[in-house]
Each structure stands twice: as structure tokens, then as C-alpha cells.
Structure 1
Amino acid sequence: MDYKSFAEQIIHLKNADLEFRNQLIQKGQLGEGYNVEMEVLHNKNAKILNEIIDTIGYPTIDKVGKEAHEAAWLIIQHSIGRPSFMKKCAELLKNIGAEYKEDKVHLAYLTDRIAVLEGKPQLYGTQFDWNDMKELTPNAFDDLVKVNKRRESIGLNTLEEQTQLIRNRVKNENQKPPKDLDQRKKDMDEWRKRVGWIE
């Protein structure tokens, strides 16, 4: 099996994703809801990666190398319009035993993203959104002490430290909160129903 060509393909998909994200940041459009062109790109990348996974299994470091392994995870994290694909990847990550530290962190982020999209509390506090004070804040979680213990168990910093890092990054990228938070939430709920995250 020619894993190298699969690795190159996965890295190419990730680069296209990040390039488009940077364009949205430059235009100040990243926080205004799910950009239609970005959704198309994410769905296309998910479809291609799903075909690769069906051929070679989950793209582990042993198969495709560290860069493509990280790239695959980013594509999976961004495939929010494909609930069944995200859940399939979460199961695959669980089944390979999260053998590397990176895999444990990847699984934590993916588990949280799925929970948030389904309207459930997250376990590790990895997912953030704008609040009424126009600050990025962690999405709903069960208990701060438990969240920080879970984070520590996989080598992550505290949720308080992560919140500050996220807010600093967003400030450095000059990201702005949505102009109308209520409308954005309504649009997001409609989108989640349309793609199958909630009923």
C-alpha cells in the first residue's frame, strides 16, 4: 500500500482548509456563522478523507507520518456537516486505543465537538463560543473540577489557562464576535437540525 500518496493527499486537503480559513480571518468574516463556501470545502474534504479511511483505516502516525496524521484530525474536526463521519472517526480513534498522547487529545477534542453539536455538555472543555459579554467562553460542561482532572489526565492545561490562551489568540487574529448572537444561534440550531445533529 502506497501510504505516502495518501499522506500527501491528506496534507493537501488540510492546507486548502487553513488557507480558506485565513482568507475569512483577513476579511473579518470568521465569526459570522458557518460560511457557505467553507461548509462546501469541509464536506468535500470529509468525503475524500472518508474514502481514504475506508481504504487504509484510520491514518495513524505509523501509516502516514505525524504531519498527515495531524492533518487528518483537523479535517475530521472541521467535518461538522457530516455527523456520521465524525462519529465513525471517534469510534476508530477509541478502537486504536489512543496509543499516542496526540490521539488521546484528538479523541478528547472530537468527543467534545460531537457533544456540543448534539447539545450535550462537553467533558474536556475544548470547545468555545461567544457569550453575551462578547468573549469566547467554553461551551457547557458538567463540572469544572472534573473537567480539569480529565484535562490533566491527557496532558492538557487547566480550562482557565486555556480560556485565556483562546481569548488571546482570537484577539491576535482580530476576530470579532457575531453582530447578532441570537440570530447566529438560531441559524446554527436550524443548520444542526438540517444536517442531523439534533431533531
Structure 2
Amino acid sequence: MDYKSIAEKIIDLKNADLTLRIKLIESGQISEGYNEEMKDLHNKNAKILNDIIDSIGYPTIDKVGKEANEAAWLVIQHSIEQPEFMKKSAELLKRAVRENKADLKSLAYLTDRIAVFEGKPQLYGTQFDWDENGNLSPNHFDDLAKVNERRKSLGLNTLDEQTEIIKKQAKNENQSPPINFEQRKQEVEEWKKNVGWIR
């Protein structure tokens, strides 16, 4: 198995994703809902990575190296219209983490993202969205003290510190809250049903 060329292919997927994101930030389109071009790229990347996983198993550090392992996680994290793929990948990543072949932080972010899409509280406070006051806030989580404890165990900063970082990043990228919060909330719920996150 030629793991080197597979690793390069996975890194190319990540680079295409990040290049498009920069383009959307620069053109001021990053806040305008789920961009069609980005959606297509995320779905295409997910399909390619799914085929790779079916062929070699999860792209663990020992197989593809640290950079491609992290790139695979990013592609999975962004495959938001592919609930089955995302959940399958989370199970494989869990096993890889247990065997010290992947990063526990990646699993924390992916676990939180799946929880948020399924309408469940996140455990690590890694996922953020605009709230009704037009502020970027962590999505629903269970208990602040427990979240901070879990974050600390992963070597992450506190949720308050992370919130400030996320707000600064959004400001630097000229992101802005939705004009109509209730309408966007409704659209997101509809989208979750359509792609199969919730019934």
C-alpha cells in the first residue's frame, strides 16, 4: 500500500478546503450561509476520504503521518452533510485514539460537532454559533465546570478564553451575525432534518 501518495492526496483535500475558505473570507462571503461551492467541495472531499478509509482504514499517524492524519480530521469535521460518514469516522477515530495513533483533541472536536448537529449538549465546548444577541457563543453544553475540567484534561484553555479567541477570529474574518436570528435558526433545523442529523 502506497501510504505516501495517500497521505499527499489527503493533504491536498485539506488544502483545497482551506484555499476556498480564504477566498470566501476575502470576498466577504463567509457569513452568507453555507456557500454552494464550499458545500460541493465538502461533499466531494468526504466521498474521496470515505473511499480512502474503506481501502486503508482510518488514516492514523503511523500510516500516513501527523499532517495527513490532521488533514483527514479536518475533512471529516467539515463533512457536515454526511452524518453517516461523520459518525462512522468518529468511531474509527475513537479506536485510533485508544491505540495512540490519533490526537484526542481531534476526537473531542468531532464528538462535539456531532452532538451539536444531533441537538445534544457538547462535552468540550469546541463548537460555537451566533446567539440571539448577535454574539458568538458556545453551542449548548452540559455544565461549565465539567466542560472546563474536560478541556483542561486535553490541554485546552478555559471556555471563556476560547470564546474570546473565537470572537477575535470572527472579527478578523469580517464575519457578522445573521440578520434574522429566528429565521436562520429555523433554516438550520430544516437543514439538519434534510441531511439526516435529526428526524
Answer 1 or 2: higher relative contact order, Cα 8 Å, separation at least 6: 1
Whether the 8 Å contact between 1:131 and 1:137 is mirrored in structure 2 is yes
Whether the 8 Å contact between 1:7 and 1:65 is mirrored in structure 2 is yes
The letter for the 2-side match of 1:181 is: F
Stretches of structure 2 that go unaligned for 5 or more consecutive residues are none
Aligned to 2:44: 44
Deviations 1:41-62 (A, max 9, x none): 1011000000001111111111
Deviations 1:60-111 (A, max 9, x none): 1111111111111100000010000010111001112345596210000000
Aligned to 2:167: 167
- SS of 1:65's equivalent? helix
Aligned to 1:28: 28
Whether the 8 Å contact between 1:32 and 1:177 is mirrored in structure 2 is no
In structure 1, what is the Cα distance between the partners aligned to 2:31 and 2:188? 12
The letter for the 2-side match of 1:103 is: D
Aligned to 2:3: 3
Whether the 8 Å contact between 1:33 and 1:188 is mirrored in structure 2 is no
Q: 1:166 to 1:100 in 2, by over 3 A?
A: farther
The letter for the 2-side match of 1:49 is: L
In structure 1, what is the Cα distance between the partners aligned to 2:7 and 2:29? 31
- SS of 2:15's equivalent? helix
Normalised TM-score (structure 2):
0.96
How far has the Cα of 1:130 moved from its partner?
Answer: 0.5
In structure 1, what is the Cα distance between the partners aligned to 2:113 and 2:61? 22
Aligned to 2:134: 134
RMSD: 1.3
Q: Does 1:96 align with 2:93?
A: no
Stretches of structure 1 that go unaligned for 5 or more consecutive residues are none
Normalised TM-score (structure 1):
0.96
- Tell me the percent identity: 69
Aligned to 2:62: 62
How far has the Cα of 1:28 moved from its partner?
Answer: 1.8
